[in-house]
Amino acid sequence: MLVLGGTRDAITIAQRLNDGSNCDSILSLAGRTSHPDTGIGEVRIGGFGGAAGLARFLTEHGIVAVVDATHPFAARMSFHAAVACARANVPLVALVREPWVASAGDRWVPASNVNACAALAAALGRRIFLTVGRQELEPFAALDEHWFLIRSIEPPDPPLPRAYELILARGPFAFSEELALMRAHAIDCVVTKNSGGAATQAKLLAARSLGIPVVMVARPARPADVSSVQHIEAAVDWVRERLAPVRA
């Protein structure tokens, strides 16, 4: 089994498969963080060399099925997985987390991508909480009139805004902590990708409670012809169904 990771869900799936399914799973990470959570089991780190490299990997390692549990914004990897699995004739399922959906009291402003959201955020606030990841801050670097609270797991790549404070942290984050953080820094706008999931949702609840606008970056497109599930349990069941004929 190959589990394409970069999410907590991927670690859980790989762990569940190794624990309970009498199956060897390999967790694959892009290598975006220097001390990644990996759980137990075999881990490989770094790109495959495009779809062709991944197809080769599948064949050479006798992979019988692939779970794409990548981050919802890691779309290139998902497209490569679709192409490679079709080429190597290996079944593929994607774990697609449900996106966050606005409810009463939310002041969300949609943005089609991170570049588009810098102008929106600049118009909506002066003290902006940026949670888009460390590699996507360039569009904000030109905003000299604004102050930023930047939160990322690893130190961000330059260029960075003129005025900012950096918090290095990995979720999950609690509602009370997010509320206190935003109050302490007088945040008046939040910028986030629509990653979905519970671990980083509390900032949205805190923004709602404070009446703060949220610039919400929409997810990139996913490959169309790939089976998908929404929950870890369903992904594990899907794998077990694929393993049964292999063992028989």
Residues that bind ligand NAP (CB under 6 A): 4-6, 28-30, 32, 47-50, 53-54, 70-71, 73-77, 80, 133, 135-136
CB of 247 to ligand NAP, least distance (A): 26
Residue number, 5 or 161, with CB nearest to ligand NAP: 5
The strand pairing partners of 168, in sequence order, are: 152
Amino acid at 244: A
- Residue 57 half-sphere exposure toward CB, CA atoms < 13 A: 23
Q: Which residues of 21-42 are buried (b: 16+ CB within 10 A; e: fewer)?
A: eebebbbbbbeeeeebebbebe
Residue number, 74 or 210, with CB nearest to ligand NAP: 74
Say how far residue 241 (Cα) sits from the centre of its chain. Answer: 26
CB of 106 to ligand NAP, least distance (A): 23
89 contacts 116 by C-beta, under 8 angstroms: no
78 contacts 221 by C-beta, under 8 angstroms: no
CB of 243 to ligand NAP, least distance (A): 21
Residue number, 103 or 113, with CB nearest to ligand NAP: 113
Residue number, 138 or 208, with CB nearest to ligand NAP: 138
CB of 105 to ligand NAP, least distance (A): 27
CB of 186 to ligand NAP, least distance (A): 26
Residue number, 20 or 50, with CB nearest to ligand NAP: 50
Rounded-to-integer distance, Cα 147 and Cα 125, Å? 9
